[in-house]
Amino acid sequence: MVDKNNGNPFAEDSDDDDDDEGKSSKKKKSSKKKASSSSGGSSDEYAGSLRLKEGRNVNNNLYYVDHTKQSNEGNGLVPEKRNELVCHLQKSKAEFDQLNQQLKATTAQAVQLESEPKNEELIVEVSNMEKKLVEMGENITEMKSHAGNEKHVKLVKKEIESKASVWRKRKRMCTEFLSNMEECTDGTISLKKCLKGDGQIDIDSDETALKGAIAFASRKKVKTVKSSGVKSGVQPSADFVGCTLSAQGKPERVFIGAENA
């Protein structure tokens, strides 16, 4: 008996597949006719890209795509287009970074504007500054008017210092005298009591003079004087009663209420 399959164990039985082969051959012929009619009559550049590799039966047919009809034979973009695409990509990234920088700058400027005062507040502030500017201008004008008195001020200070030196000298002489008397009398004559005016020796000390001036100023009635307007410059104080020497030997003004300090 002759082996129809030529010893191939994977070959299918031709007797069993006679009917299938008849049907498949008819389908193959019809598919070939359809493919030839469609490929011949179509104007699409990709027509015929879908290919068929026939097998022994319908289940063994292999359909595949022929990429050779694509641009660059299916190997992707051509170098020129690929370079152009990369160039556009880099340009887009640069524009994106630039827009991000602009966004950050705009956000920072918006935050700064939000922290600044509003127009209504600025109007009030400008009005106050204008008033202060007018006052400063008036003060400057007044100061310029007193600029010629600089020489007189120096002479007054020099005279005050001269009289203060004489004052210090006399006070030191008086204090030394009372201190010596206190030592000679073994405390019978007190330096502190004499300076206050309560001692055995009656002297016209600074403390006694200030005490009398303060008492007189406290009893004196304050006179109210109507003024036509507010005077500029340094105004005298109604509480001033006299002067005394400080611990450094410099004259100091004394006002009412200093005895309670």
Choose from 67-71, 159-163, 219-223 the range with maximum mean pLDDT: 159-163
- Is there a domain that residue 247 lies in? yes
- Is there a domain that residue 212 lies in? yes
- Is there a domain that residue 214 lies in? yes
Counting the structural domains of the chain, the total is: 1
Q: Residue 188: what pLDDT?
A: 81
- Is there a domain that residue 208 lies in? yes
Domain with 211, as residue range(s), is: 204-219+240-261
Say whether pLDDT at 174 is over 90: no
Kindly write down the DSSP assignment for every residue of the chain, as one continuous string: ---TTTT-TTSPPTTTTHHHHHHHHHHHHHHHHHHHHHHHH---TTTT-EEEE--SSGGG-EEEE-GGGSGGGGSSS-HHHHHHHHHHHHHHHHHHHHHHHHHHHHHHHHHHHHHSPPHHHHHHHHHHHHHHHHHHHHHHHHHHHTGGGHHHHHHHHHHHHHHHHHHHHHHHHHHHHHHHHHHHTTTSS-HHHHHHT-SSS----HHHHHHHHHHHHHHSPPPP---SSPPPSPPPPTTEEEEEE-TTS-EEEEETTGGG-
- Is there a domain that residue 250 lies in? yes
Dump pLDDT digits (tens) for 10-40.
Answer: 444 444 444 455 445 544 445 444 444 444 4
Q: Which residue has the higher pLDDT, 236 or 182?
A: 182
Q: Which residue has the higher pLDDT, 82 or 45?
A: 82
Dump pLDDT digits (tens) for 123-148.
Answer: 999 999 999 999 999 888 888 877 77
Q: What is the mean pLDDT of the chain?
A: 76
- Is there a domain that residue 135 lies in? no
The whole-model pTM stands at 0.37
